[in-house]
Structure 1
Amino acid sequence: MTDGPLTISGLDEIEERFDAFLIDQFGVLRDGKGPYPHAVETLRRLKQAGKTIIILSNSGKRSAENDRRLAALGFDPQSWDWFLTSGEVAWRILQAESRQLSSGIARKCLLISRDGDTSPMDGLDLARTDRGEDADFLLLAASEGDVHPLSFYEALLAPAAARGVPCLCTNPDKIMLTKEGTAFGAGRIAELYEELGGTVRWIGKPFPDIYATAREFLGSIAPEKICCIGDSIEHDIAGAAGAGLKSILVTTGILETATDADRQTLFAEHGATPDFILPSFIWSER
């Protein structure tokens, strides 16, 4: 839109324009404490309107793990067709690589995750190590930035960076929402690894792999009929623009306290402007 994004008060105003929605999880449907008001019902109403819905998340956990977690929070599992995570995309990439290598010797993986989660490497021909000194590659799936300072990760990763060990970051978010507020996310740790001299392959929004996987699932639905909903200009809105899709920016999540001027600055910084702005993930104010 040449005149900037159109502000809408509910999804009912534009849902007829689209056949499919790619919806972010954190910042749109929920925060670190639980679902946003109206989010459960809005997701249900959107699905009842006949839309194909993919929850598109920069979560290092695999799809099934997130399915269960969202359902446990009170969301109806029938409200979405697929919960596609960057962790799921990365797992499939690693599975394909393992088949190609098939040397019989498991690669040593330094997994950085959250709450002891090992799902990003479960079922793969990988051996876990806790040391950067002997890792063959790093799998950066999540951050415990609310537990450890950035210096903790610097000490852990510096030996691997010095050895030129490659890193796969499956959660590009630089800020994460926790029960206590915000903390640095896995994307910030990946940035740190690059600052230390390491190389990072980024999986998730705004990078192409996750959108290609989503488009494959959506089949023949035309790009102009697909709309992305997110709270991050850097990830959700820029990712949609790069994939040639329409987008809606919700002003909850990481931009909850941002002013209109703040948002305009971010639009310019990331070269991406949403088609619509929605105060929160709500079906209708009426």
Structure 2
Amino acid sequence: MAVRINSFREIAGRYDVVLCDVWGVLHNGIQAFASACEALAEARAQGLTVVLITNSPRPHPGVTVQIRGLGVPDEAYDRIVTSGDVTQALIAAADNRIFFIGADRDLPLLEGLGTEIVSADEAETIVCAGFYDDETETPEHYRATLTGLAKRKIPFICANPDLVVERGHRLIPCAGAIAKLYEELGGEARIAGKPYIAIYRAALAEAKAARGAFDLSRVIAIGDGMPTDVKGAQDAGFDLLYISAGIHAQEYMHESRTDEARLMAFLRQNGAQPKWWMPRLA
């Protein structure tokens, strides 16, 4: 059974490397969680290496700028690895005639890869970084277009496997929700971000570059998403600190208080076995 902790300080001495989720753990899409940032900065001061591991479709330079703007200090981490970083290898290996689904802010994902953005009818590859407008759209807005692409067996590269993220107090859909629909329509989705191993290998390589060799038994992952953070960490064999006040909070929290019995039942139902849990990283 997962053990409740009140401070990351209680367990930091057991680890050398932290692989920490970003959206939902360090910020909510509007502002940083100050206590979480302080916890990671303190861990680094004690000698731990912190690699942020995020399903953002943006390559890491763009995420660095984004999280600074939200109030995450540079002192909170050593390196960042994004789903966008590892997805670029999938795009480079695919046909370069791309039907792109996503906002203009996500176009840096394609920079330097020699792609050509074309219409759905002309496409040989789909690249999805997110919704054109995630404030108003749902996956159903894409059903007609995706149905035709799936019939043509066009591969779908998903740059953000998340189904939803927090934005303030709301849940906003992500590219993973569109990829899920595409698979339901019979299409093939290619994904490198969490929970898939490619992003964890990249994160471990960054940790090694930052500190030198380390034992994998001294790696801890921190996250709040069952199908991404939790599954990815467990599949990779890492200890996990589960952040309960994230995207699944409605399953077991009431008025900001965690019903521990409901939380434990939720974890069991999802096959989740975190070593530790706390509402917010602190």
Q: Return the TM-score normalized by structure 2.
A: 0.89
- The answer to whether the aligner puts 1:174 opposite 2:163 as a matched pair is yes
Say if 1:79 and 1:113 are closer, same or farther in 2 by CA, change over 3 A. same
Give the SS at the match of 2:250.
coil
Deviation at 1:28, TM superposition (A): 0.4
1:116 and 1:214 map into 2 onto residues whose CA distance is: 24
1:43 corresponds to: 40
Which deviates further from its counterpart, 28-37 or 238-247? Answer: 28-37
Instruction: State the partner residue of 1:136.
Output: 124
Structure 1 position 262, deviation (Å): 4.8
Aligned pair 1:28/2:15, yes or no? no
User: Could you say what secondary structure the match of 1:111 adopts?
Assistant: strand
Q: Percent identity?
A: 28
Q: Residues 26 and 253 of structure 1 are in contact (CA less than 8 Å); yes or no, is this contact kept in structure 2?
A: no
Q: Distance in 2 between matches of 1:132 and 1:118?
A: 17
Question: Are 2:205 and 1:216 equivalent residues in the alignment?
Answer: yes
| Aligned mates of 1:201, 1:86 — CA distance in 2 | 12
* Structure-2 separation of matches of 1:218 and 1:40: 18
Letter in structure 2 aligned against 1:279: P
* Cα deviation digits, residues 161-205 of structure 1 (max 9, x gap): 111000111211111222461132211110100111110012211
Task: Give the whole-Å Cα distance in 1 for the aligned partners of 2:197 and 2:8.
Answer: 26
Q: Secondary structure at the match of 1:253?
A: coil
Q: Distance in 1 between matches of 2:269 and 2:228?
A: 12
**Which aligned segments of 4 or more residues in structure 1 are displaced greater than 4 angstroms?**
none
Once the two structures are TM-superposed, the CA of residue 21 in structure 1 deviates from its matched residue by 0.3
Check whether the contact 2:84–2:159 (CA below 8 A) recurs between aligned residues: yes
Q: Secondary structure at the match of 1:34?
A: coil
Residue of structure 1 equivalent to 2:257? none
Q: Kindly tell me: are residues 179 and 153 of structure 1, through their superposed partners in 2, closer, same or farther at Cα, counting changes over 3 Å?
A: farther
Alignment counterpart, residue 190 of structure 1, candidates 179, 189, 201: 179
Gaps of 5+ in 2: 253-259
Give 1:225's aligned amino acid.
Answer: R
**Alignment equivalent of 1:231, drawn from 203, 224, 236:** 224
CA distance in 2, matches of 1:115, 1:40: 29
Aligned residues of 2:30 and 2:70 also touching (Cα < 8 A): no
Q: Name the SS for the 1:75 alignment partner.
A: coil
Shift of 1:266: 4.2
Could you tell which deviates more after superposition, 40-49 or 6-15?
Answer: 40-49
1:73 maps to 70
Structure 1 residue aligned with 2:53? 56
How far does residue 111 in structure 1 lie from its aligned partner after superposition?
1.6
Displacement of 1:146 in angstroms is 2.1
When the two structures are aligned, how many residues end up with a matched partner?
270
User: What amino acid does structure 1 have at the position aligned with 2:127?
Assistant: L
Aligned-partner SS, 1:119: helix
